[in-house]
Chains A and B, each alone.
Chain A
């Protein structure tokens, strides 16, 4: 039986964070980019929990709760913005949306 060591959790969190980051950088669909940002946040959350367990301090857990609340609000706003953009521009492709450019 393999015990779940904190470092394993850290590795997983890093993988999740990197997947999210690559998604944000490479994908052009705003919706997917938004989901990838959530992924990054969750990766960080996981590392908080891991560190919290590692150091036996509950602060990490608290921070996670806090981050999750903010992330929920943020994704709500983000989704709202994406929908508004789609309504106005009929696209969610980040390359097509360049109204502020020159």
Chain B
């Protein structure tokens, strides 16, 4: 029952706020942000409490049977396919559920303050609750179609929230881009399901892992699943939607585009880890793509001037780290990093939101500076997030990130190339985060005086979540890897973990130091540079290409083939009409003549026919 309630509470919140919004807006009234936010936050808090009790229940069970399953109803049944609508709470789901509901509750609370001036506040909270409902479906669903339901559902919520300020068309288009790029990935998911069903005969997450599949099938299945993950988790080649997604409200960026939705790719890989790890091709693809994404996104992040865009590319880069972990078979480390990243990246986003809130919507980091005195709480909490993402001990990022770097070197599937990618990305991460940190909080105030004076610390509803997340960023790493999903992870290696730890801290310090030299004094304004021009290429290839294809179809095929078919059939009709028209002379007497002739002919046929064939 509890599993069901975990997902039902956000759904209930969604309905209450949604209906409230509709009624209020059709009557032209405003919804109280506090009341609406309280409902939404309480729904999430209740969900979190339930998830916690389930988690404790799970802990009390013996390790090998840690699973709480609830079947709600039969969903689809056709031929050999039978899909139940069932929720499974096991240790992997538990990690994600706790992160979603926990961080979710904090972000809901934060939103009450951040969005207090918003007109359609009930709509906002209903969307947020809807997102959590779908996300929980994703991580609790027992079958692939159920995961897919959540998968598409969070995509929809993301679309709605990115385009929340829908009066500006660019926001709407950013949402559209996210939805469509996600859908491209979803096609991989769909086809993976078809292959899975064809060869394994089931779509149940547990049973499909037990199925005996040929290596060829496993490889194709794994690659397709990974392709789906590149869409949702913003990896190469489908990562360009995530920076655009920053058009949405900042709490949304924190919840959806940093802490939860974008990590669902890791969830899926970890969930299906026996199949994924069964193919070396799949694993090395994941590791290489993850490594490249981490590097490319980190490079781009160094050239951004928008506060949220830097964090967005940083998210892409960190997700690359998680995929690297999965790609070397260390799924549990990947999941560990999901958790710590959820804490510190949500924190960074919320703190950034607090800065933006204080500066009334300013997002350009070259228009900031010197804010540490104005916004002390934001500054302190941001520092915690900064330290965590850099991987400074004893912050949470240190534990998870180091473990990833360690695994890339010592795991069976790891190698020096991936290790190199990870190290360089880590250095770059330190560089751009320090750059951001310095430009925002240190140096002179570069915005106009009035704005600076007006800047003020946020209310407690925004401060409290920051404080909680900062604490979590500090201590989150001590929990250790929350699940064990061992696949070719390191046995005993001659390389000492301490050495790697040392190397990575040194690297991070180097990156940070470089940024310090460059940005502590010098505040020359930099423009955002489109380093690789990937967005432009995609714009041409997908946007314009599709338009061309579409108009080409309309112009050539439609005109030359389809219209021809009509013309030919019309010509046939015309021709037969013309042939028979000759007989239509329009004189009753002529018709009568024809009738008489026909009668005579029929009689002649009968009588003469009788003579010839003897039928009569």
Report which A residues bind B (CB closer than 8 A).
21, 24-26, 28, 94-95, 98, 101
User: Contact partner of A101 among B586, B589, B592, B593, CB < 8 A?
Assistant: B586
Report yes or no: B586 in contact with A25, Cβ–Cβ below 8 A: no
Report yes or no: A26 in contact with B596, Cβ–Cβ below 8 A: no
Measured in the bound complex, the distance between the Cα atoms of B589 and A101 in whole Å is 14
Please name 15 pairs of A and B residues whose Cβ atoms are closer than 8 Å in the assembled complex, sorted by A: A21-B596, A24-B589, A24-B592, A25-B589, A25-B592, A25-B593, A25-B596, A26-B589, A28-B589, A94-B587, A94-B588, A94-B589, A95-B587, A98-B586, A101-B586
Chain B stretch 548-603: residues in CB contact (< 8 A) with chain A: 586-589, 592-593, 596
From residue A37, how far is it (CB to closest CB) to chain B in Å?
10
Secondary structure dominating the interface of B: helix
From residue A59, how far is it (CB to closest CB) to chain B in Å?
24
User: Interface size for chain B: under 10, 10 to 19, 20 to 34, or 35 or more residues?
Assistant: under 10
Measured in the bound complex, the distance between the Cα atoms of B586 and A95 in whole Å is 9
Q: Which residue of A lies closest to B592 (CB)?
A: A25
Q: Which residue of B lies closest to A102 (CB)?
A: B586
Contacts of A28 in B (CB 8 A): 589
Residue among B586, B587, B589, B592 with max Cβ neighbours from chain A (10 Å): B589
Contacts of A26 in B (CB 8 A): 589
Cβ proximity bits B138-151 to A, threshold 8 Å, 1 near / 0 not: 00000000000000
Measured in the bound complex, the distance between the Cα atoms of B587 and A98 in whole Å is 8
Measured in the bound complex, the distance between the Cα atoms of B585 and A98 in whole Å is 11
From residue B607, how far is it (CB to closest CB) to chain A in Å?
16
From residue A23, how far is it (CB to closest CB) to chain B in Å?
10
From residue B578, how far is it (CB to closest CB) to chain A in Å?
15
Contacts of A94 in B (CB 8 A): 587-589
Given A26-B589, A94-B589, 11 extra CB contacts under 8 A? A24-B589, A24-B592, A25-B589, A25-B592, A25-B593, A25-B596, A28-B589, A94-B587, A94-B588, A98-B586, A101-B586
Q: Which residue of A lies closest to B589 (CB)?
A: A25
Measured in the bound complex, the distance between the Cα atoms of B584 and A101 in whole Å is 10
Cβ proximity bits B449-477 to A, threshold 8 Å, 1 near / 0 not: 00000000000000000000000000000
Measured in the bound complex, the distance between the Cα atoms of B589 and A8 in whole Å is 30
Contacts of A24 in B (CB 8 A): 589, 592
Residue among A21, A24, A25 with max Cβ neighbours from chain B (10 Å): A25
